[in-house]
Structure 1
Amino acid sequence: MDTTTAPPDNGSSEPKPSYTKLAMRNMVRKGGKSLTHFFLTVSGLLALLVGLAYLTR
């Protein structure tokens, strides 16, 4: 697993990529897994909210 977050700085004058840009690049590279985790999280939260609404009615 690659744990580096930015390419090494070789003395170039280019600015370091922002955290947001690195996160978006990583999400594009691992697109399927990211989308699966996103939809699992959304469905889990939705189920939790519906369950709480049912229990507290």
Structure 2
Amino acid sequence: MSNSSTSSGEPKPTYVKLAMRNMVQKRLTSLKHFALTTVGLLAVFIGLAYLTR
């Protein structure tokens, strides 16, 4: 039951390579998630700075 992409003698792609390929194929979604993560982290840090001043 081997996959046709792995039975051709090529090494199995690593998780990182699969993730990079997925990011390239779904560029807009990846950019949206990156932007949301950045905004969320900035909000957390600014909120903590405000609360601890």
Which of the five TM-score ranges fits, normalised by the shorter chain? 0.7 to 0.9
Corresponding residue pairs, total: 50
Q: What does 1:1-57 correspond to in 2, within 5 Å?
A: 8-9=3-4, 11-57=7-53
Q: Which has the higher contact order (CA 8 A, sep 6+)?
A: 1
Could you list the structure 1 runs, at least 4 aligned residues long, displaced by more than 6 angstroms after superposition.
none
- Provide the alpha-carbon RMSD of the alignment: 1.2
Q: Which runs of 5+ in 2 are unaligned?
A: none
Aligned identity (percent) is 64
Provide TM-score, normalisation by structure 1.
Answer: 0.78
Q: Once the 2 structures are TM-superposed, how far is the Cα of residue 40 of structure 1 from its aligned partner?
A: 0.5
Q: Which has the higher helix share?
A: 2
Provide TM-score, normalisation by structure 2.
Answer: 0.84
